Structure 1
Amino acid sequence: MENKSIARTLRLFSQLMELHEENPFKVKSLATAAFKVDKLPFSIAKKSPEEIEKIDGLGKSTAAKVIELLQTGAIQEMADLIKETPAGVVEIMGIKGVGPKKVLVIWKDLGIESIGELYYACNENRLIEAKGFGLKTQEEIRKAIEFKVASNGRYLYAQVEEVAELLIKEATGLAGGIQVSFVGDFRRRCEIIDGLDFLIGCQDASGIISDLKEIPYLNVLAESPEKLETEHETGIKALFNFCSPDTFSYNLAFLTGAEGHNKELQNRLEIGDKSFETEEQLYAQAGLPFIEPELREGLFEFDLAAAGRMPELVEWKDLKGSLHNHSTWSDGVHTLEEMALFCRDELKLEYLGISDHSKSAFYAKGLTEERVIAQHEEIDKLNLEIENFRIFKGIESDILFDGSLDYSDEILARFDFVVASIHSVFKMSEEKATSRLVKAIENPFTTILGHPTGRMLLTRNGYPIDYKKVIDACAANGVIIEINSNPLRLDLDWRWHQYALEKGVELSINPDAHSKKGFYDTRYGILAARKGGVTAADCLNALNSTEITAYFKQKKGI
């Protein structure tokens, strides 16, 4: 075993001891020993137990731990501490700038047990008021997590968007009016991106390749007459493909589609024919209506085309209001009035559905029954003062472990709508998670099922559920399913949108905004909905203010 491995083990041991608030003297001794071992000019593994005990800076007790590690491959006392610590908490300790004292607050005070939960908490501003934290520390932790995730070579769509737009602008400028487009996963608006792909149509690619190689923030990985593989300074891979102008539309289609889509499309085209003026012409030649890039996954788009049901996909302009949002009443950063005015004046929406956290979400300043009543009084006042706009009284009510909501029927009846969501106890079997959700769906006050699987893309898998049973329950009880627009969530997964629509379940594209800026996340929910083949008619918040008022009243039996 190398000195560095021994030092890392001792360092983690000291951190675990500090996390579990053990003897500070022992913690310091282990941390010092870790530093000393890392700097030794000789291999400690080659020394005898007697020699190890004499090494300066170890001490008899720590030397015994090192000997135990070398002889058995583990330190039993450390193994016992690891058993008492959630695996995600141990992983959090590996984030740069997050020491044991901060981890203890994150774990015990905030109830966070994974990097995914911590990243989401940063995005919801939950760390700002925690002991030993602040806005600067929260931002540093968020960036450290992003770096850790990015080092795996995979990115959220939202994380690569800025680089993508920069590179397409560069390529378009260099091409001088020649055809340039995104292709691949990014053009299909996939939620997770492994790299950026571009297509440039030109007679001679050599000049453009030379210019691209001169861009200072691009590192060239490989080059051929048809392709230039590069890496952006952020680590994002960017592949530039080149083709002749007359085959641009053909290559645009086949470099965009997923394998299943391309195989079916190729079967419908005449062999060898690659000259098409537009993609629309290519699809027409294949006997198909134009299929939007988002749908080209080879899953259900050809069935829709064959049935003559190719959808007119939802757009931002179709949405008339925003539901599932948080204000300073819980863990948001802007007041109710600020959120409402932003929706009316900047986003040109007709209504805002406020749904602050319920009382079980103590970490997010969840609303007690008394505060619910006080908030409703403020909403009534604002609805009288703000012209041409409506604030609806909602709540994001926690689904408890037994599937019940965390307010009495008397309180739930006060709301215009209720978003029911799980925020705690994620470790469940599929049977338990499904039954928990179904019971909440069957609650007559539940209007919308919020982020149904609780997933955090790239950082935390959702709890396992039987999607069909959950969606069928929503169909049977008239419950809307949320498409949570936070780019970390995008939950309900787009792959289940068609099943929901077939069962007659409506969807709601919700930003889960915790600030005015958060409303712009709606765009990512729209992109996910488009991948699922969702139209405006399928969306609850495409209803105008009058229509959704009537819907809420009907749901409540008024």
Structure 2
Amino acid sequence: MSNAEIVDLLELTARLMELHERDAFKTRAFQSAAFNLDKTTADLSQLPVDELVKLPGVGKSVAQKIHEISQTGRLSDLDALLAETPAGVLDMFRIKGLGVKKVRTLWRELGIDTLDALRQAGEEGRIATIKGFGASTQEKILDALTFLQEQQGKLRMDRADELAQRLREQLLPHFERVDVSGQVRRRVQEVDTVQLLVQTTDPLSAMLTLRGMPELLIDERESSPFVWRGRFAGYDVPVELRFNAPDQMDRQLFIQSAAESHLKQPGSAGVALLQAAYTGNDASETAIYERAGLPYVVPEMREDDFAFRWSTQHHHTNLVTWDDLRGTLHNHSTWSDGKESVASMAAYTRELGLSYFGIADHSKTATYAHGLSVEQVMAQHTEIDQLNAGFGDDFRIFKGIESDILGDGSLDYDDEILARFDYVVASVHQTLNMSIEKATTRLLRAIENPYTTILGHPTGRLLLAREGYPIDHRAIIDACAEHNVVIEINASPYRLDIDWRWIDYAMQQGVMLSINPDAHSLAGLLDMHYGVDIARKGGLTAEMTFNALPLEKMQAYLQQRRSNLVK
């Protein structure tokens, strides 16, 4: 099992122990272990008990529990707790703002043990009458329930991509050609159907083959002789496998990978894209666009007519690619809540062929993430200077910080400290329940701060988990243009924030965007692939991508900003 899976089981055990009011000392032991092990780079599944107890926060009892998980994939203590806990009570932990104590109160005092019962209690006003809740909490619970309901049966881009590739690998031994299509190929950030095309001249035999694969769970009512529909074991999202003859694969790959509104677009030839796809012998995607009299559009942008409007000013070859990236600027290390040292993160960045690494650990207000005190900032800068002394002219570590935007829009270091950084990523992490007026005003003040270089994850959203706070995107982008502030495309598949629909407006206003991984581990650096996907979807060109600047230009840019501040 992976470290993340083990930590998740420890966290759930601790949460349920607290819910059922088990021994407080043992509960804290699980909480402490989960908190500390979330940062470890050791392979927990491979360590014996006598090595596990040497890790921070791990006592002998918890070490034995970790060993049990590693050996069996389960934890008997957790199984016993789960048996006592209604499934609906577990679901309540997904509600934003509901901690263990509130869940226990709702369960014990109101007898609520399903999300439906929770919604009914909220709609009847019963939650507001409970001590410690009130009308405001009740309203937030109802809003969170609505959000969760809208997200059911969806996967984030990364998990959908993982499932699609897993399906393709399992199908390829049985079929000559299998293509990932639909929303996954279009790089939709929240996927509600994972679709693949399967080449076959015998759909009946193909269907029998799929029925023989135990992890494929067919939905008999939704399937047909030419389309298998169902689910893959362990995933809640619908799966669709479409059978096509060899001479139809290219044609259908195009059709199935474009949104309906995109296919309806008429071209100068007087026919819509869909009609052009079904006519002519050449079924290649470029030929289809040519027959319609329309410019070629990359799969990521095949949503609606935006791509054609974009094409009046740009060419698809101008879109940013992974190869255009020259560095990475929003990353965390063990100085705050990351899992690797600055040296390790920088070394891996070099292995990826990039020429600069920007560290942006959390600032002092972010105590939950071990934010850096002023003294720690000074110590980290000394370490970076020492590391930079060992590099040649082809690589550099930049000194950054992810400074918390406080409630009034100020940053959480004074100007003397902010001036010591090469750049500052300004982000909101706390007090996220804001009106659009409050959130916009808060961000505007941060943007006006002369030390803000990059505005981090502008809406604070977590895809499929937390709706972002509302902001006036135009006002924010216009302010970034006025104050020469870069906007982040947070490449973490959990965020993908700023939303791709605002990228083109930012470019029109002359605002550069930075594809930042927000990496907390070596693997996290690779999340920039998702950032590139979503950037291309929004039409971002390499020219307007901040971290596509080569090292010498990035150095000159940051030095010029600092010089201007001194003046």
- Call closer, same or farther: CA 1:87–1:382 in 2, change over 3 Å: farther
Secondary structure in 2 aligned to 1:391? strand
CA displacement 1:89-123 (0-9 Å, x = unmatched): 989xxxxxxxxxxxxxxxxxxxxxx99xxxxxxxx
The aligned residue for residue 507 of structure 2 is: 501
Mapping for residues 44-123 of structure 1, pairs under 5 Å: 79-83=130-134
- Call closer, same or farther: CA 1:399–1:301 in 2, change over 3 Å: same
Segment drifting more, 162-171 vs 335-344: 162-171
- Does the 8 Å contact 1:250/1:274 carry over to 2? no
The aligned residue for residue 244 of structure 1 is: 245
Once residues 341 and 314 of structure 2 are traced to their aligned partners in structure 1, the CA distance between those partners, rounded to angstroms, is: 47
Once residues 309 and 450 of structure 2 are traced to their aligned partners in structure 1, the CA distance between those partners, rounded to angstroms, is: 35
| Counterpart selection for 2:389 from 357, 365, 384 | 384
| Counterpart selection for 1:556 from 529, 540, 562 | 562
| Counterpart selection for 1:289 from 295, 313, 319 | 295
- Does the 8 Å contact 2:362/2:401 carry over to 1? yes
Once residues 293 and 261 of structure 1 are traced to their aligned partners in structure 2, the CA distance between those partners, rounded to angstroms, is: 11
- Does the 8 Å contact 1:294/1:531 carry over to 2? yes
- Call closer, same or farther: CA 1:15–1:88 in 2, change over 3 Å: farther
- Call closer, same or farther: CA 1:76–1:368 in 2, change over 3 Å: closer
The aligned residue for residue 481 of structure 2 is: 475
CA displacement 1:99-154 (0-9 Å, x = unmatched): xxxxxxxxxxxxxxx99xxxxxxxxxxxxxxxxxxxxxxxxxxxxxxxx9999211
Once residues 545 and 334 of structure 2 are traced to their aligned partners in structure 1, the CA distance between those partners, rounded to angstroms, is: 27
Mapping for residues 278-427 of structure 1, pairs under 5 Å: 278-307=284-313, 309-344=315-350, 346-387=351-392, 388-427=394-433
- Call closer, same or farther: CA 1:384–1:82 in 2, change over 3 Å: same
The aligned residue for residue 547 of structure 1 is: 553
The aligned residue for residue 229 of structure 1 is: 229
Secondary structure in 2 aligned to 1:349? coil
Amino acid at match of 1:264: Q
Amino acid at match of 1:490: L
Amino acid at match of 1:206: L
The aligned residue for residue 80 of structure 2 is: none
Segment drifting more, 225-234 vs 418-427: 225-234
Secondary structure in 1 aligned to 2:330? strand
- After TM superposition, give the deviation of residue 460 of structure 1 in Å: 0.8
Once residues 65 and 473 of structure 1 are traced to their aligned partners in structure 2, the CA distance between those partners, rounded to angstroms, is: 48
| Counterpart selection for 1:447 from 453, 460, 478 | 453
Once residues 535 and 299 of structure 1 are traced to their aligned partners in structure 2, the CA distance between those partners, rounded to angstroms, is: 18
Amino acid at match of 1:158: D
CA displacement 1:186-224 (0-9 Å, x = unmatched): 110101111211123433322222212211211111332
Once residues 187 and 500 of structure 1 are traced to their aligned partners in structure 2, the CA distance between those partners, rounded to angstroms, is: 25
Secondary structure in 1 aligned to 2:446? helix
The aligned residue for residue 182 of structure 1 is: 180
The aligned residue for residue 9 of structure 1 is: none
Amino acid at match of 1:185: Q
Amino acid at match of 2:258: G
The aligned residue for residue 52 of structure 1 is: none
Secondary structure in 1 aligned to 2:172? helix
Amino acid at match of 2:219: L
The aligned residue for residue 192 of structure 1 is: 190
Segment drifting more, 474-483 vs 358-367: 358-367
CA displacement 1:438-461 (0-9 Å, x = unmatched): 111111111000000000111111
- After TM superposition, give the deviation of residue 425 of structure 1 in Å: 1.0
- Does the 8 Å contact 1:401/1:425 carry over to 2? yes
2:524 paired with 1:518 = yes
- Call closer, same or farther: CA 1:293–1:410 in 2, change over 3 Å: same
Once residues 89 and 343 of structure 1 are traced to their aligned partners in structure 2, the CA distance between those partners, rounded to angstroms, is: 41
Once residues 150 and 418 of structure 1 are traced to their aligned partners in structure 2, the CA distance between those partners, rounded to angstroms, is: 35
Once residues 290 and 109 of structure 2 are traced to their aligned partners in structure 1, the CA distance between those partners, rounded to angstroms, is: 76
Once residues 369 and 285 of structure 1 are traced to their aligned partners in structure 2, the CA distance between those partners, rounded to angstroms, is: 63
Once residues 445 and 300 of structure 1 are traced to their aligned partners in structure 2, the CA distance between those partners, rounded to angstroms, is: 35
The aligned residue for residue 261 of structure 1 is: 262
- Does the 8 Å contact 2:365/2:404 carry over to 1? yes
Once residues 76 and 327 of structure 1 are traced to their aligned partners in structure 2, the CA distance between those partners, rounded to angstroms, is: 42
CA displacement 1:366-408 (0-9 Å, x = unmatched): 1122221111111111111234421101011111111111111
Once residues 86 and 15 of structure 1 are traced to their aligned partners in structure 2, the CA distance between those partners, rounded to angstroms, is: 22
Once residues 401 and 64 of structure 1 are traced to their aligned partners in structure 2, the CA distance between those partners, rounded to angstroms, is: 35
- Call closer, same or farther: CA 1:291–1:272 in 2, change over 3 Å: closer
- After TM superposition, give the deviation of residue 225 of structure 1 in Å: 2.4
| Identity %, equivalent residues | 43
- Does the 8 Å contact 2:488/2:515 carry over to 1? yes
Larger Rg: 1
| Counterpart selection for 1:459 from 454, 460, 465 | 465
The aligned residue for residue 495 of structure 2 is: 489
Once residues 390 and 194 of structure 1 are traced to their aligned partners in structure 2, the CA distance between those partners, rounded to angstroms, is: 41
RMSD: 3.4
Secondary structure in 2 aligned to 1:175? coil
Once residues 524 and 139 of structure 2 are traced to their aligned partners in structure 1, the CA distance between those partners, rounded to angstroms, is: 27
Once residues 153 and 311 of structure 2 are traced to their aligned partners in structure 1, the CA distance between those partners, rounded to angstroms, is: 35
Secondary structure in 1 aligned to 2:294? coil
- Does the 8 Å contact 2:295/2:308 carry over to 1? no
Amino acid at match of 2:130: A
Amino acid at match of 2:374: E
Task: Return the TM-score normalized by structure 1.
Answer: 0.73
Amino acid at match of 1:529: A
- Does the 8 Å contact 1:247/1:274 carry over to 2? no
The aligned residue for residue 166 of structure 1 is: 166
Once residues 172 and 197 of structure 1 are traced to their aligned partners in structure 2, the CA distance between those partners, rounded to angstroms, is: 15
Once residues 345 and 184 of structure 2 are traced to their aligned partners in structure 1, the CA distance between those partners, rounded to angstroms, is: 31
Secondary structure in 1 aligned to 2:477? helix
Amino acid at match of 2:413: Y
- After TM superposition, give the deviation of residue 462 of structure 1 in Å: 0.6
- After TM superposition, give the deviation of residue 253 of structure 1 in Å: 1.6
